[in-house]
Amino acid sequence: MCFSEAERGARGTGRGNGAGARAERLPSDLAQLYQCGLQARLGPRPVPTPRSPFPVPRAPRPLPRYSATRVKRYRSPIRFASARAMTDTALVRPHVVEFKNVSKTYGEGERAYTAIKNVNFAIDDRPDHGEFVAILGPSGCGKSTIFRLIAGLSPQHPPSTGQVLVFGKQVGGAGADRGMVFQDYTSFDHLRVIDNIAFGLECRGVPLAERRDQARVWIEKMGLNPGTDAMKFPHELSGGMRQRVAIARTLILKPRIILMDEPFGALDPGTRYAMQDLLVKLWREQQATVFFITHSIEEAVYLGDRVLIMSRAPGTILHELRMEHSTRPARDVQREPAFLEAVFKVRDIIEQLERPA
């Protein structure tokens, strides 16, 4: 059975030729990420989960100490979304994601290395809208570490200190409410495009014909050709095509939280604009909360409702900006003087923050 083989792969207990062979071919990150679906097919999960991520609130709760209202606000001509509109929902719903004094130290003793230190932030739940959270920070400051803590992937999960909460509950591991697109175009190398995209549905027990039908729809949505691309293997695709497959494999499952780790870093500017437009369109359809790591200030300013700026290692959140999201095409907006001015302002802030005190 396909699912139990993958499950064994995910748990590292593969037996026999078929299961063992498939287990070896599952990249460990993807095996971890989809483990939740595989477990769901096998029976009750060891840790009970709430029936809905939106428990009916009993009473409004006070804003936590490190909420958006306490974050240093940047005063500039960049138009910010209303803080009130963003924080109102936090009064009645748990935050989508909340970090409370989170630190992560890898290794022990002399080899111990602290990648992130005292990370605090909270993202409101904005139903029927979602939010786009862009994260900017120097290489090695712990951006991927933060993402993997949200996704519940080891060895980043669990944090060394502090709490990572998703919909008000402490993260116990990977879950179907979170999807992740990895930094390195991770795919199942032995699966064709159509089956790569349908993988999560397979884990959920969707029959072959139905999941392939859905995957074909996503192949088309992602601007790939269902006729010529569906039966290709990942090594037969360009980097941009592989990233489209990875995004489709995540979005087909409609997660409430989408983590995208520098997804367009290796694309040429034209393809990058096209992917930014596509992402905004798909995000509007899904109304999820998207966390997006990028090294491009332009990309962060264009895509982000909120931009988190991180310090050098050990990484922490230095600053939070709120932006108004543009509804117009990336290529047009990113050439406009007002947009370029906003980008320079953010660059100035980053330079100021990085300057030694």
Q: Does 142 bind ligand ATP (CB under 6 A)?
A: yes
Q: Which secondary structure element, helix H or strand E, spans residue 284, and what is its range?
A: helix 269-286
Which residues have C-beta within 8 Å of that of residue 343, sequence separation ≥ 6? 297, 298, 301
Count of CA atoms in the C-beta half-sphere (13 A) of 219? 22
Q: Which two tokens stand for residue 123?
A: 């993202």
Q: Does 32 bind ligand ATP (CB under 6 A)?
A: no
Distance in Å, CB of 71 to Mg ion, minimum: 23
Distance in Å, CB of 262 to ligand ATP, minimum: 6
Q: Does 112 bind ligand ATP (CB under 6 A)?
A: no
Phi/psi at 178 (nearest 5 deg)? -125, 130
Which residues have C-beta within 8 Å of that of residue 254, sequence separation ≥ 6? 286, 288
Which of helix, strand or coil describes residue 353? helix
Distance, C-alpha 122 to centroid of its chain: 15
Name the site residues for Mg ion (rule: CB under 5 A). 144
- Tell which one of 97, 141, 165, 349 touches ligand ATP (CB under 6 A): 141
Nearer CB in complex with ligand ATP: 94/158: 158
Site mask, ligand ATP, residues 176-205, x = CB under 6 A? -------x----------------------
Cis check for the bond before 269: say yes or no (omega within 30 of 0).
no
Contact 266, 239 (CB under 8 A): yes
- Tell which one of 143, 256, 306, 319 touches ligand ATP (CB under 6 A): 143
Nearer CB in complex with ligand ATP: 310/343: 310
- Tell which one of 6, 31, 36, 115 touches ligand ATP (CB under 6 A): 115
Q: Does 106 bind ligand ATP (CB under 6 A)?
A: yes
Nearer CB in complex with ligand ATP: 106/344: 106
Q: Does 86 bind ligand ATP (CB under 6 A)?
A: no
Separation CA 216–CA 219 (nearest Å) = 5
Nearest to 303 by CA among 282, 323, 331: 323
Phi-psi region of 207 (alpha: psi -120 to 50; beta: other; left: phi over 0): beta
Q: Site residues for ligand ATP, window 248-287 (CB under 6 A)? A: none
Separation CA 329–CA 272 (nearest Å) = 12
- Piece of 45-53, 135-143, 226-234, 274-282 that binds ligand ATP (CB under 6 A): 135-143
- Residue 181, strand partner residues: 260
Contact 87, 286 (CB under 8 A): no
Residue 103 binds what, of ligand ATP, Mg ion, none (CB under 5 to 8 Å, by partner type)?
none
- Residue 259, strand partner residues: 180, 291
Q: Does 68 bind ligand ATP (CB under 6 A)?
A: no
Q: Does 139 bind ligand ATP (CB under 6 A)?
A: yes
Distance in Å, CB of 38 to ligand ATP, minimum: 23
Q: Site residues for ligand ATP, window 296-355 (CB under 6 A)? A: 313
Q: Does 140 bind ligand ATP (CB under 6 A)?
A: yes
Separation CA 224–CA 211 (nearest Å) = 17
Q: Does 294 bind ligand ATP (CB under 6 A)?
A: no
Residue 37 binds what, of Mg ion, ligand ATP, none (CB under 5 to 8 Å, by partner type)?
none
- Tell which one of 35, 145, 311, 316 touches ligand ATP (CB under 6 A): 145
Contact 284, 143 (CB under 8 A): no
- Piece of 57-65, 132-140, 169-177, 343-351 that binds ligand ATP (CB under 6 A): 132-140
- Tell which one of 50, 127, 155, 207 touches ligand ATP (CB under 6 A): 155
Q: Which two tokens stand for residue 102?
A: 């989170």
Interface with ligand ATP by CB under 6 A: which residues?
106, 113, 115, 137, 139-145, 155, 183, 313
